[in-house]
Structure 1
Amino acid sequence: MEVRGVHHAYRRRVVLRGVDLRLRAGVLAGVVGENGAGKSTLLKILAGELRPGRGVVRHRGRFGYCPQRVVLNGSLTVRQHLEFFKVAFGLADLRRAEEVMDVLGFAEYTNERVGVLSGGTRQKLNLTLALMHDPQVLLLDEPYQGFDWDTYQRFWDLAAGLRDAGRSVLVVSHLAYDIDRLDELWRLDEGVLHRRETVTA
């Protein structure tokens, strides 16, 4: 994915001031910044959910997007969500979704209504829906909200596995947790992305 000169403003409030970003295949990258810095706005633009004021975003292949706000239907079961997205993505089966559910440790909730699930379990489903079509580019906005420590570790193992399989993974967070797990790190400050030195050896 390549991003050049992306600007965005909400009326007079300028949020992004010429963001440039190149996300290579086989890279686990992170963007950090204070609350209100424009991270979620940037991710929405990268995912095509929001049109930038100006600038260009180019990406090839399938992409998955896990927004910060979980968008699920509380009256439907986990399986009904999976079946709905299976049709939307044109998938032959739910094999990949079931693999992700096993890794995240919530396969036993398949027949539960989403409305009765904890916030952390809903977030696991949110992440599964973003991953079930095996995207080449994965955009994650605060993806581990509500996770317990074990699931948090499982998430990073999953992200590293995607990176090792040649996928491009971008994790956005307001805090620079576990930056040693990242290959590349940027900080969004005053609407501009600043590249930090390579994190891992």
Structure 2
Amino acid sequence: MEVRNLHHSYGRRSVLRGINLGLPPGAVAGIVGENGAGKTTLLRILAGELSPDRGTVHHNGGFGYCPQAAVLNDALTIRQHLNYFKVAHGLSDLRRAEEIMEALQFSEYADERAGVLSGGTRQKVNLTLALMHDPQTLLLDEPYQGFDWETYRRFWELTARLREAGRAILVVSHLAYDAERLDVLWRLEDGLLHDRAMENTA
């Protein structure tokens, strides 16, 4: 993924003021920032949900987007959600989704309605829907919100396997809990990205 000179404003409030970033295959990057810094706005632009005022986003291959809030239909089961996304992505089977569910250890909930799931399990579904078509680039907004420690650990094990497979991963969070797991960590402040690694070694 290549991002060049992204700008976006809400009325007179400038949120993004020239964002540039590159995410090569096999890279795991993070963006941190205070609430209201523009992290979700940036992700929505990267995912194509929102058009920037100016600038470009180029994806080399497909991408998966895991928003912070799981967008699930409470009346549908997990399996029904997976089948809908299978059709949307033109997949021949659910093998990849089932592998992710096994990795996050919630396969036994496949026939449960989304409305009865805990927050952590809903987030697992959210993540599975973003990954099930095996995209080249993953855009993850607070992806482990609501996870217990064991699921959090499995999330990073899954991320390591995706990195080995050459997938590019961008994790956005309001706190830098996982800096040691990342190849690069940016801080979004005043509408610009600042390289935390470079700052810390200066």
Which of the five TM-score ranges fits, normalised by the shorter chain? Answer: over 0.9
**Distance in 1 between the 2:178 and 2:48 partners?**
28
Which letter does structure 1 place at the counterpart of 2:71? V
Q: Do residues 171 (structure 1) and 171 (structure 2) align?
A: yes
C-alpha offsets along residues 48-83 of structure 1, whole Å, 9 cap, x if unaligned? Answer: 010001111111101000001110000000000000
Unaligned 5+ segments in structure 1 are none
Amino acid in the other structure paired with 2:159: A
1:49 aligns with 2:52: no
- SS of 2:197's equivalent in the other structure is coil
Check if 1:133 corresponds to 2:125: no
TM-score by length of 1: 0.97
Give distance in 2, aligned partners of 1:147 and 1:172.
Answer: 16
Amino acid at match of 2:103: V
Matches of residues 1-201 of structure 1 in structure 2 within 5 Å?
Answer: 1-197=1-197
After TM superposition, give the deviation of residue 14 of structure 1 in Å.
1.0
Alignment deviations for residues 153-198 of structure 1 (CA, whole Å, 9 cap, x no partner): 1011111111111000000000000210111111101110012327
RMSD: 1.0
Quote how far apart the aligned CAs of 1:6 are: 0.2
SS in 1 for 2:37: coil
Q: Aligned letter for 1:114?
A: A
How many residues are matched?
199
Normalised by the length of structure 2, the TM-score is 0.97
Letter in 1 for 2:149: W
Deviation at residue 124 of structure 1 after TM alignment? 0.2
Which runs of no fewer than 5 residues in structure 2 stay unpaired?
Answer: none
Q: Any idea what SS the aligned residue of 1:93 has? A: coil
Write out per-residue CA displacement over residues 101-140 of structure 1, whole angstroms, 9 at most, x where no aligned residue: 0011100000000000001100000000000000000000
Q: Distance in 2 between matches of 1:69 and 1:53?
A: 25
3-state SS of 2:91 partner: coil
